[in-house]
């Protein structure tokens, strides 16, 4: 597996595959072709279907600035991946200088037709959560200790990730008004935080988790800076659970960073063996994986054994299997924002459920990842970030 840096990326929302990845591709192309006078870009498949709502056009233009850009939208996907982009650099006489086809494969990562942009740096010798669990049993150490062993320098980056998550939460908590994009969706986070103050017990907990997840997800939907966990669209789940437990349990920063490391291992296993792209496997790969990451982090913070941590992650993902991606108007707003809130609530419940057991269970997390990948590939493209099916199709004002 690659570094946790490849999973937790810091950048502008609202979409890691439709905004962050395309901006990065545009920046790479501009750097490679400084002699270009202008650039034609064709967005294929899901990027064309939901790119306007996901601000893909703005991301490409800002990545190529100051070059003039002509965009073409082609909803037919290329055979290699649903999120394809073709860049053509032209000289001052409009003659083509270079062509580049690249794919935004989820979480802000890019791939060319023949493979990764550069040789992946495999920091972790392990590929599955089962192998990591075995390592914890053999060494008697917690999951996060594997991160310490394999990339000890990553802690300062994880601190930056946590600070970004907190900043997004704070900004989203205080923002008011309507989200951009045309749905006229009112922000809810601020009102939910206010409401939470008058509540007690489980109602207060639900309100605080939901409010925190909404704050980050609304910030993302407005194009704010967030940390992917594992994607932009699902970026509210992990921070909401961590922030809630930090306050509720009086946790210190090292506890949070270790929980983030364990969450990162869980997300990285999915990224390595399946996909975290809604265009490839539906929302189970985004919100489902975010829930698994947050559940694992919560189980660790609540004192769970590595087996209970693995079980919490398994519950978090298993009960999102089959979740479709059908964003209305192609915006990362409905159902995405509310989905973050419910996944945060479920993640904490999953951790508590796992802690009721001794950690033994029938279906492993790795098996659920395999099922998720298979299910995702069996889903018609209508339900994989094309805004052609489900809510996007039947919703009428």
Binding of ligand SF4 by 310 (CB under 6 A):
no
Of 280 and 314, which has the nearer Cβ to ligand SF4? Answer: 280
Q: How far is the CB of 390 from ligand SF4 (least distance, A)?
A: 9
Binding of ligand SF4 by 108 (CB under 6 A):
no
* Cβ neighbours for 191, distance < 8 A, ≥ 6 positions apart: none
Which among 91-99, 131-139, 291-299, 331-339 is the span making contact with ligand SF4, rule CB under 6 A?
331-339
- Map residues 256-295 to x or -, x wherever contact with ligand SF4 holds by CB under 6 A: ----------------------x----x--xx--------
- Map residues 228-247 to x or -, x wherever contact with ligand SF4 holds by CB under 6 A: -----xx-------------
Site size with ligand SF4, rule: CB under 6 A: 13
Residues 182-221 that bind ligand SF4 (CB under 6 A): none
Please give the residue whose beta carbon sits closest to ligand SF4 in the complex: 278
Q: How far is the CB of 330 from ligand SF4 (least distance, A)?
A: 8
Of 196 and 294, which has the nearer Cβ to ligand SF4? Answer: 294
Residues 373-392 that bind ligand SF4 (CB under 6 A): 385
- Map residues 41-70 to x or -, x wherever contact with ligand SF4 holds by CB under 6 A: ------------------------------
Residues in contact with ligand SF4 by the rule CB under 6 A: 233-234, 278, 283, 286-287, 325, 327, 332, 335-336, 339, 385
């Amino acid at each position: 597996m690659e570094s946790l840096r490849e999973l937790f990326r810091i950048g502008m929302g609202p979409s890691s595959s439709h905004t962050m990845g395309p901006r990065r591709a545009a920046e790479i192309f501009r750097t490679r072709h400084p002699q270009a006078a202008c650039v034609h870009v064709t967005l294929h498949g899901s990027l064309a279907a939901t790119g306007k709502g996901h601000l893909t056009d703005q991301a490409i233009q800002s990545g190529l600035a100051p070059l003039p850009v002509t965009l073409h939208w082609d909803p037919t996907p290329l055979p290699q991946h649903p999120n394809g982009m073709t860049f053509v650099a032209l000289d001052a006489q409009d003659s083509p200088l270079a062509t580049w086809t690249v794919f935004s494969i989820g979480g802000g990562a890019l791939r060319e037709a023949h493979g990764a942009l550069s040789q992946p740096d495999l920091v972790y010798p392990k590929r599955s959560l089962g192998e990591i669990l075995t390592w914890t049993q053999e060494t008697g150490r917690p999951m996060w200790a594997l991160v310490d062993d394999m990339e000890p320098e990553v802690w300062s980056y994880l601190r930056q990730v946590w600070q970004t998550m907190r900043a997004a939460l704070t900004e989203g908590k205080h923002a008011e008004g309507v989200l951009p994009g045309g749905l006229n969706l009112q922000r809810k986070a601020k009102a939910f935080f206010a409401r939470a103050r008058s509540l007690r017990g489980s109602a207060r907990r639900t309100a605080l988790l939901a409010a925190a997840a909404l704050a980050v997800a609304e910030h993302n939907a407005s194009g704010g800076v967030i940390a992917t966990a594992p994607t932009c669209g699902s970026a509210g789940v992990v921070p909401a659970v961590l922030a809630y437990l930090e306050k509720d349990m009086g946790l210190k920063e090292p506890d949070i960073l270790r929980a983030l490391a364990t969450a990162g291992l869980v997300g990285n296993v999915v990224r390595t063996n399946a996909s975290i792209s809604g265009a490839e496997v539906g929302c189970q790969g985004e919100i489902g994986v975010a829930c698994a990451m947050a559940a694992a982090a919560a189980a660790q913070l609540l004192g769970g054994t590595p087996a209970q941590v693995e079980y919490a992650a398994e519950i978090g993902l298993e009960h999102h299997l089959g979740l479709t991606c059908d964003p209305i108007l192609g915006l990362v707003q409905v159902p995405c924002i509310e989905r973050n809130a419910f996944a945060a609530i479920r993640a904490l419940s999953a951790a508590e459920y796992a802690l009721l057991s001794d950690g033994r269970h029938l279906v492993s997390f790795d098996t659920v990842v395999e099922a998720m990948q298979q299910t995702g590939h069996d889903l018609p493209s209508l339900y994989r970030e094309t805004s052609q099916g489900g809510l996007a199709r039947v919703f009428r004002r």
